[in-house]
């Protein structure tokens, strides 16, 4: 499969990149700094650019079969600016499948189901800015006919793929979920790319 990857230099994105290449897929990755990609591989095409630039996004998505986005908020509006460009390019090139990394904050609250977790007493974060950016991505994708999934990990420490059982639940964080490593988050996203177990929804993941 030919996959377009956004956010390839981040913790989850770099694990995803390694997983995709190890499993024999062709990857086109959009990066601002080529020096942050640590490996060269015949299956990897690097596009130097910015996800906030529509032409750079189109150059990345063209000739691929599916989109993976591990973009983070960068303390700014990267997500909310990039997602319309990604959606537009997907329609232009007739690509339907996208799996993105979100945050557990945009899942529904288990205690107050009418609220998102970041709006409820379940959230311990002092600022909601990052969750609000991820929420814009969710709302944008939900308003499309694309086959989308937003994978929403809870606390995300560094760490490789493990043999631990990953619990998952549609639109909510599994009960008493505390953490999941970046490597296992990448593994879950990769499996979702291939299997489409959670189409058209947010999915909370943890151990």
156-196 pLDDT, tens per residue? 999 999 999 999 999 999 999 999 999 999 999 999 999 99
What order of strands is seen across the sheet that includes strand 97-101? 44-48, 26-31, 2-6, 66-69, 97-101, 147-153, 201-206, 167-170
Q: What is the pLDDT of residue 80?
A: 96
User: 19-28, pLDDT tens digit by residue?
Assistant: 999 999 999 9
- Collapse the DSSP code of 37 into the 3-class scheme (helix H, G, I; strand E, B; otherwise coil) and give the result: coil
User: 29-55, pLDDT tens digit by residue?
Assistant: 999 998 889 778 899 999 999 999 999
pLDDT at 74 over 90: no
Across 94-106, average pLDDT: 98
What is the share, in percent, of the chain residues with pLDDT greater than 90? 90
What the chain holds in terms of domains, given with CATH numbers, is 2-206 (3.40.50.720)
- Are the C-beta atoms of 155 and 130 separated by less than 8 Å? no
Global confidence as pTM: 0.96
pLDDT at 126 over 90: no
Task: For residue 130, give the H/E element and its range.
Answer: helix 129-142
* Interstrand relation of 167-170 and 201-206 (parallel, antiparallel or unpaired): antiparallel
């Amino acid at each position: 499969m030919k996959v377009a990857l956004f956010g390839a230099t981040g913790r989850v994105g770099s694990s995803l990149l390694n997983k995709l290449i190890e499993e024999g897929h062709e990857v086109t990755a959009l990066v601002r700094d080529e020096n942050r990609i640590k490996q060269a591989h015949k299956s990897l095409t690097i596009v130097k650019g910015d996800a906030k630039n529509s032409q750079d996004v189109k150059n990345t998505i063209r000739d691929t079969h599916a989109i993976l986005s591990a973009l983070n908020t960068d303390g700014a509006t990267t997500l909310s600016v990039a997602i319309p460009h990604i959606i537009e390019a997907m329609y232009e090139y007739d690509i339907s499948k996208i799996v993105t990394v979100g945050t557990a904050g945009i899942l529904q609250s288990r205690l107050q189901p009418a609220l998102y977790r970041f709006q409820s007493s379940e959230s311990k974060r002092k600022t909601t800015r990052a969750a609000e950016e991820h929420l814009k991505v969710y709302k944008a994708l939900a308003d499309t006919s694309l086959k989308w999934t937003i994978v929403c990990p809870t606390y995300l420490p560094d760490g490789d793929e493990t043999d631990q059982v990953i619990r998952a639940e549609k639109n909510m964080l599994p009960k008493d979920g505390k953490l999941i490593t970046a490597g296992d988050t990448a593994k879950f996203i990769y499996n979702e790319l291939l299997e489409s177990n959670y189409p058209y929804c947010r999915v909370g993941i943890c151990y």
